[in-house]
Amino acid sequence: MNVMTKQNETVTPRKIVDAPSVGHNLVPRPKLMTVEDAKALDVARMTDLFKAHLNPGQLHFMKLLGFHKIKIERAEGMYYYDQNGRKILDFFGGFGSLALGHNHRRLLEVRRKFQEENRHEIAIAFMSQYAAALAYDLAQVSPGDLDMVFLGSSGSEAMEAAIKLAERAAGPTRPKMVYAENSFHGKTKGVLSITDGQLYRGDFRLTDNTIKVPFGDIDAIERAFVANPDIGAIVLETIQGGGGINQAPAEFWQKLRRLCDAHGVLWVADEVQCGVGRSGRFYAFEHYDVVPDITAVAKSLGGGKSAMAAMIARRDVYLKAYGTPKTAMIHAAATFGGIGEASITAIETLNVLYDEGLIENAAVTGDYLIERLTELQAKYPKIIKEVRGKGFMIGLELHDFSQTLPMVLRPVVSVLDDKLKGSLSGFLGALLLRDYGVLVAFTEYNRNVIRLLPPLICQREHVDEFITALDDLMSRGIVSIVKDFVKSQVKSA
């Protein structure tokens, strides 16, 4: 595929080669972009490169939402700043990876110092003091016997580690795993088998050693445990993110713990999105006074500056699977597991979380956000169906209006993409960004839910700014919102 070069020529970029320079005759230098070139790319050229090398299909969705017109130049605290100097209030929060907001000063400082001191990165040949300290800190913030840590660089990798550990600890006679409807545990091949999204599962060949139950249905779980003594583990997000911010009551979790103990089943709690303070506790399961056997965190653990993920397990479970020299390397860290700068960034992130009282802020200011959204629900009952969540993990479910929309608008809306039909969340999200400079997230499985995952540094004034924008937008009424959105699509087409 051809793209425009810097000189505005149409070329196939991978084949461009600079003239060989002195001393480099054998390996001619390809025409590489530099870091400065990258910073200077404008939206049109970014679009060309995105299309040519990253994901042409994804551009379709970006266009639908108007995200394709924006180039972020910098980001600080609660805000992005675009190419026109416009401030964008971030209630999307990198899908939950920005607990400390953008570019927290303390993270920048420890990283700068680490670099100036020429510290080492790779933690494979020698023991790493950074990985060791991070593992210690994670054990400190984890309740019960959750003491053993595996470090990786994505939520999927941490969850892969979790299910592999569970499988080995459960043993060969108990290979079955229970997972929930509407679950999301990542897109890598192993966890895809316990991710309940047809979109992601596609036609991949997945393991059939799984049993799906409705989320929060303790009776279904008990029936499964009784009927299948070969179940070794159950994997659940404590608060479902991709499924639309779904929670189960405290009794569910307490019964689950008792059931797992009674049947010798290992409970794996996926805290990749809801963990690291987002729910108002370090782990969301702490709201329910229970401790799983294995858990995983990622996203915000890297402070929004580094890719860091961890699986944390009960010591006896870990030792059962990998406790001897013979078994120790079966699933030891990958090349970048516990890498230096990412580890010290995570260590500082944990310290900042407590020093600045951010977990408590998530609980208190999160309650305020829920309260303000509930007021909006009372004001716009035909638009907002439900407000739910904990701390700064909030779902705003909108009514599906595909059937209530005036007849004249239905054909227009139906030509829009499948995902947006009947989904007011897409229209609201697009207009919030365009007209108010406010960014929100969407939900993989439930097109009617707007997901709010603001940084945990979010203050009441940011909540007020967000609510004022949403209130103003909703006051236009559904018909005008939909018409406006459709008009913007026609203009940009």
Ligand X SMILES: Cc1ncc(COP(=O)(O)O)c(C=O)c1O
CB of 157 to ligand X, least distance (A): 7
Sign of the Cα pseudo-torsion (30, 31, 35, 39, in order)? negative
Residues in the chain: 493
Of the listed pieces 34-42, 45-53, 150-158, 463-471, which binds ligand X according to CB under 6 A? 150-158
Instruction: Output 248 or 474, the one with its CB closest to ligand X.
Output: 248
Instruction: Output 179 or 401, the one with its CB closest to ligand X.
Output: 179
Q: Taking Cα atoms as reference points, which of 318, 378, 346 lies closest to residue 147? A: 318
CB of 194 to ligand X, least distance (A): 10
Residues 157-186 that bind ligand X (CB under 6 A): 159, 184-186
Instruction: Output 279 or 489, the one with its CB closest to ligand X.
Output: 279
Q: Is 4 exposed, middle or buried (0-12, 13-18, 19+ CB in 10 A)?
A: middle
Instruction: Output 154 or 361, the one with its CB closest to ligand X.
Output: 154
CB of 158 to ligand X, least distance (A): 8
Q: Is residue 196 a contact point for ligand X (CB under 6 A)? A: no
* DSSP H/E element including 393: strand 393-398
Instruction: Output 186 or 455, the one with its CB closest to ligand X.
Output: 186
Q: What burial letters (b/e) apply to 162-196, b meaning 16+ CB within 10 Å?
A: bbbbbbbbbeeebebbbbbbbbbbbeeebbbbbbb
Gap between the Cα atoms of 416 and 393, Å rounded: 29
Q: Is residue 237 a contact point for ligand X (CB under 6 A)? A: yes
The answer to whether the CB of 150 falls within 8 A of the CB of 309 is no
Of all residues in the shown chain, the one whose CB is closest to ligand X is 155
Residues in binding contact with ligand X, number by CB under 6 A: 15
Structure tokens belonging to residue 429: 């999200």
Q: Is residue 273 a contact point for ligand X (CB under 6 A)? A: yes
Q: Is residue 156 a contact point for ligand X (CB under 6 A)? A: yes
Q: Is residue 236 a contact point for ligand X (CB under 6 A)? A: no
Structure tokens belonging to residue 237: 């997000």
Q: Is residue 380 a contact point for ligand X (CB under 6 A)? A: no
The residue type found at 49 is L
CB of 22 to ligand X, least distance (A): 44
Instruction: Output 128 or 195, the one with its CB closest to ligand X.
Output: 195
* DSSP H/E element including 395: strand 393-398
Q: Is residue 295 a contact point for ligand X (CB under 6 A)? A: no
Instruction: Output 245 or 266, the one with its CB closest to ligand X.
Output: 245
Q: Is residue 361 a contact point for ligand X (CB under 6 A)? A: no
Residues 84-103 that bind ligand X (CB under 6 A): 95
Q: Is residue 389 a contact point for ligand X (CB under 6 A)? A: no
3-class DSSP assignment, residue 396: strand
Q: What is the CA radius of gyration of the chain?
A: 24
Q: Is residue 279 a contact point for ligand X (CB under 6 A)? A: no
Instruction: Output 237 or 465, the one with its CB closest to ligand X.
Output: 237
Instruction: Output 66 or 94, the one with its CB closest to ligand X.
Output: 94
Which position among 48, 137, 160, 270 is part of the footprint of ligand X (CB under 6 A)? Answer: 270
Which position among 154, 279, 365, 448 is part of the footprint of ligand X (CB under 6 A)? Answer: 154
Angle between helices 424-436 and 478-492 (to 10 degrees): 70
What is the pairing mode between strands 449-452 and 393-398?
antiparallel
List helix spans (H) across 278-418.
315-322, 340-355, 358-379, 410-414
Question: Which residues form the interface with ligand X (CB under 6 A)?
Answer: 95, 154-156, 159, 184-186, 237, 241-242, 270, 272-273, 298
